[in-house]
């Protein structure tokens, strides 16, 4: 019942907007300023004293701007501000439905205002909501991957790569059972004392089952089929460093 009431309250400006002609840019500027003052007043109050209806009024105030004047210069800014307030509302009341509505609003910005300077930030924010608020790793991964494909030179590209790395690392850690860790450590302690290529081949198996921070170091710790003295020295050094990290871990410390 509560969700239906929220959806209806969010939709009311839409129906009224369809019943009247589009307004001028001056009208949009005026309505945007009103919405900004409403948001400022809301943010000026302690978070615990803010009610859902107050957030909804601010959301509707921004929505009136682009419903009433969709081509005005403030229209796309109103969409962004509306989405931001919805994210704040979803986080304040721990409401995933509102957060998903915010994602849809960012998607609306990207589809209906493709020339907006906020479209890049909107896609990145969608990924953040999926990852940090909704705990949806698959959607977050897909969003950040799309972000890097579309905007590889964006100022947020490095943040997107770090987010993807974190998602993958968390996924690997969640799949590692205690038995897997113990089996790996047992193999490592034996393999670290040999230079056989069989040990090198075994790293391929373990590399896909361990967190990324150890992956490259592990694969470089053992000799390949074609090696020289300099590379071998580096591998011995890497192997020692890797062994130190393993020994420093709780499980490794017990088994070493």
How many residues are present in the chain?
256
**126-164 per-position pLDDT tens digit:** 999 999 999 999 999 999 999 999 999 999 999 999 999
CA–CA gap between residue 256 and residue 246 (Å, rounded): 9
End-to-end CA distance of the chain: 59
Q: What percent of the chain has pLDDT over 90?
A: 55
Band the pLDDT of 50: cuts 50, 70, 90. very high
Domain ranges of the chain: 2-173, 176-255
- Residues near 163 by Cβ (< 8 Å), separated by ≥ 6? 127, 128, 131, 140, 144
CA angle 214, 251, 234 (to 5 degrees): 35
- Residues near 65 by Cβ (< 8 Å), separated by ≥ 6? 28, 31, 32, 35, 72, 74, 75, 78
Mean pLDDT of 151-180: 82
CATH classification (class only), 2-173: mainly alpha
Higher pLDDT, 181 or 42: 42
CA–CA gap between residue 47 and residue 181 (Å, rounded): 44
**198-223 per-position pLDDT tens digit:** 454 455 555 555 555 454 445 444 44
pLDDT at 2 over 80: no
Higher pLDDT, 228 or 159: 159
The model carries a pTM of 0.63
CA–CA gap between residue 105 and residue 93 (Å, rounded): 19
pLDDT at 27 over 50: yes
CA–CA gap between residue 124 and residue 77 (Å, rounded): 17
What pLDDT is attached to residue 253? Answer: 43
pLDDT at 63 over 60: yes
Mean pLDDT of 44-68: 96
Band the pLDDT of 86: cuts 50, 70, 90. very high
Pick the range with the lowest mean pLDDT from 69-83, 94-108, 191-205: 191-205
**Closest CA relative to residue 35, chosen from 7, 51, 13:** 13
């Amino acid at each position: 019942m509560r969700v239906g009431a929220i959806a209806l309250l969010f939709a009311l400006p839409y129906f009224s907007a369809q019943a009247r002609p589009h307004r001028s840019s001056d009208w949009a500027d005026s309505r945007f300023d009103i919405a900004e003052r409403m948001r400022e007043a809301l943010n000026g109050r302690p978070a615990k004293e803010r009610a859902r209806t107050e957030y909804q009024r601010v959301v509707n105030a921004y929505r009136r701007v682009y419903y009433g004047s969709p081509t005005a210069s403030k229209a796309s800014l109103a969409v962004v501000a509306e989405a931001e307030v919805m994210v704040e509302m979803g986080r304040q009341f721990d409401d995933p439905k509102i957060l998903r509505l915010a994602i849809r609003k960012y998607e609306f910005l990207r589809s209906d205002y493709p020339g907006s300077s906020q479209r890049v930030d909107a896609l990145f924010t969608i990924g953040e909501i999926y990852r940090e608020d909704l705990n949806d790793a698959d959607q977050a991964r897909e969003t950040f991957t799309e972000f890097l494909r579309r905007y590889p030179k964006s100022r947020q590209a490095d943040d997107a790569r770090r987010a993807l790395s974190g998602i993958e690392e968390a996924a690997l850690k969640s799949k590692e059972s205690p038995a897997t860790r113990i089996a790996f450590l047992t193999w490592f302690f034996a393999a670290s004392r040999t230079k056989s290529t069989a040990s090198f081949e075994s790293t391929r198996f373990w590399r896909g089952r361990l967190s990324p921070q150890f992956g490259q170091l592990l694969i470089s710790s053992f000799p390949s089929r074609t090696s020289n003295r300099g590379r071998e020295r580096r591998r011995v050094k890497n192997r020692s460093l890797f062994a130190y990290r393993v020994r420093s871990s709780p499980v490794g410390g017990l088994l070493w």
